[in-house]
Structure 1
Amino acid sequence: MPDIVFIHGLWLSYTAWQPWTKYVAAKGYQAIAPRWPGEGDTAAASRGNPHAQAGFGIFQLTEHFAAVIEQFDAPPIAIGHSFGGLIAQKLLGQNRVAAAVAINPAPIKGVTPLPLAQLRSTFPVLVNPLNHGRATTLTQRQFRYGFGNALSKAESDSLWEQWSIPSPGRPLFEAAIANITPNSPARTDTANTTRGPLLITGGTDDHTVPFISARATFEQYARSTAVTDFHGFDGAGHSLTIDHRWHEVADVALAWLEVRGFGGESQT
C-alpha cells in the first residue's frame, strides 16, 4: 500500500492537511503530515511561540523531511504545497521519494518570471533584511491577497483564523536570490532521469506563485526523460489546498497517482 507524506508551505499549519489525510485514507493510502521544525502541536501553539521556527532554511527543511521519510520501509509519495512543493521536488530529485506532486510550488532555481503579484505577496517579508533570521506572520489582509484572493472575504478570513501560523523568512530570501547563488538550496536536480514521476500544478489566479511561475518550473524539467506532468486549476488561488475546492485538487492528485501506477488499495 503506498504511503504519502504531506509537506505544507509557509504560513500554514501542518494541521491544514488533516482533511487530506482522512480523505486519502479512505482511498487506500496511509498518510502523514509532519510538522516543520519548531512548529507547535496546533496552529494556536505555533502562533503563541512565533520564534520557534525562526532561522530554518530550505536545506534544513529538506533534511528534516528526509529524516522522516527514512523511517518508511519503502520510499513514499511526497505531496507538497508552495514551499512544500519545492521540498517535494528536491526529495524526488534526490531519489528519496517514489513520486511527487508539487501543488503551486515555490520557484526553484532557474525560474525567471517574477510577476508583480508575486513581488507584492512576498514584499512584507523581503522588505526587511532582518526577517531573514525571523519568523513572520501574515496579517489577515496580507493573507487575503497572497492566499485568498480568489475567495470571498469571509472564506479567506475564516481560513486565516483556522490555519495561519508564523513561518521562517529565510526560505523566501533563499528563493529570491537563487538565480545568482551558485549553490542555492532552491536548486533541484531537474535533469535526473532515474527519478519517479512528478506532477506540478498551477492556479490561474494565484498571487503567491503565479501560473507563469508554476509553468516555468515545469519547463525546467525539459532535459529529463523522467515523467513530468502539469495541471492547471482555472480560477484557483494559493489557498487551493485548504479552501472549498480542496477536494477537486485532491482528486486530480489521486487520479494522476493512479495513472502513474501509485493507486491506493480500496478499504471497502
Structure 2
Amino acid sequence: MSSTRRRSSSATPPGGAFTQILLDHGYGAAGVAINSAPTEGVLKAPFSQLRSTFPVLKNPLNAHRAVGFTHEQFQYSFTNGVDEEISRKAYERYAIAANGGILFGSVTANLKPGHQDTWVDYHNDDRAPLLFISGSDDHIMPPSVQQSNLKHYKSKETVTEITEFEGPHFMVGLDGWEQIADKALEWALANAKAPAGAVTA
C-alpha cells in the first residue's frame, strides 16, 4: 500500500464510510451506503447533525471511552418522527454505549495533516459502483451530508448515485424496510462490476 493510502487505525470508521473505503481499496462488486457518515473532505455539518452528536462531542474524554445516549437523545438522533412507543422499544433493544473515538475521528478528519481513517480517493476510476441511500428526515446524517459526499466523487469512469427514502436514520429498522432492502439489492445487481450471477443474495 502506498503512503498516500496509508491511514491510522485509531478506530473503525462508521458503516457507510467503511463501505466507501472498502470500495476505494478495490473490494466488492458494488456498494450501498445507507445514511452514510461523511468521508474525509466533506465539510457539510447541519445543525441537526451537530445536535445529534453533541452528547459525544461535548466532552473530549469521550474520545477514549464508550458513550451512551438517553432515550430522548436517541429519539432525536435516530427515531425522530417515529411513534413514542416504537421509538422506546427500538431504544431498549438496540441502544448500547459505543466507542466515542469513532465519532471524534470522523469529525476531526479534516483538521489533521495527512490522510485519516475516513480518506478515500474521489478520483478513483477503478472503484466499484456506489449508491448512497438517504433518509429524508435523518437528523444525524441528513440528506445534505449525503449529497455533499456524492458531489465529492469526480470519476466519470464509474457509477456514483443517490436515492432517498422517507424516514429517519433508523428507517431500516422500521416498517417498510423491505422496500429499502429491495432497492439496494436491485441496484447492486444492476450495476455490479462482476457478473450478476457472481453476486449472491
Same topology, TM > 0.5:
yes
**Quick check: 1:211 aligned with 2:136?**
no
Code of the aligned partner of 1:242: G
SS of structure 2 residue aligned to 1:209:
coil
User: TM-score, normalised on structure 1?
Assistant: 0.66
**Quick check: 1:61 aligned with 2:2?**
no
SS of structure 2 residue aligned to 1:229:
strand
Structure 2 partner of 1:179? 110
Q: Percent identity?
A: 36
**Residues in 1 aligned to 2:190 and 2:175: alpha-carbon distance in whole angstroms:** 25
**Quick check: 1:133 aligned with 2:64?**
yes
1:257 Cα deviation after fit: 1.4
Backbone CA RMSD of aligned residues: 1.9
Structure 2 partner of 1:12? none
Cα gap change, 1:140 to 1:177, in 2 (>3 Å): same
Superposed CA offset, 1:98-130 (max 9, x none): 221100101111111111000000000000000
Unaligned runs of 5+ in 1: 1-56, 63-82
Code of the aligned partner of 2:174: D
Structure 2 partner of 1:147? 78
Cα gap change, 1:232 to 1:58, in 2 (>3 Å): farther
**Quick check: 1:97 aligned with 2:28?**
yes
254-263 vs 136-145, which moves further = 254-263
**Quick check: 1:121 aligned with 2:63?**
no
**Quick check: 1:233 aligned with 2:149?**
no
Cα gap change, 1:59 to 1:215, in 2 (>3 Å): farther
Code of the aligned partner of 1:200: F
1:223 Cα deviation after fit: 3.5
**Residues in 2 aligned to 1:118 and 1:258: alpha-carbon distance in whole angstroms:** 32
**Quick check: 1:107 aligned with 2:38?**
yes
Unaligned runs of 5+ in 2: 1-7
Asked if 2 retains the 8 angstrom alpha-carbon contact of 1:58 and 1:171, the reply is no
Asked if 1 retains the 8 angstrom alpha-carbon contact of 2:46 and 2:142, the reply is yes
**Residues in 2 aligned to 1:115 and 1:60: alpha-carbon distance in whole angstroms:** 24
1:60 Cα deviation after fit: 4.4
Cα gap change, 1:215 to 1:90, in 2 (>3 Å): same
221-230 vs 113-122, which moves further = 221-230
**Residues in 1 aligned to 2:65 and 2:18: alpha-carbon distance in whole angstroms:** 20
Asked if 1 retains the 8 angstrom alpha-carbon contact of 2:11 and 2:105, the reply is no
Code of the aligned partner of 2:180: V
**Quick check: 1:220 aligned with 2:152?**
yes
The count of corresponding residues between Structure 1 and Structure 2 is 189
**Quick check: 1:189 aligned with 2:140?**
no
Structure 1 partner of 2:130? 198
User: TM-score, normalised on structure 2?
Assistant: 0.87
**Residues in 2 aligned to 1:174 and 1:224: alpha-carbon distance in whole angstroms:** 30
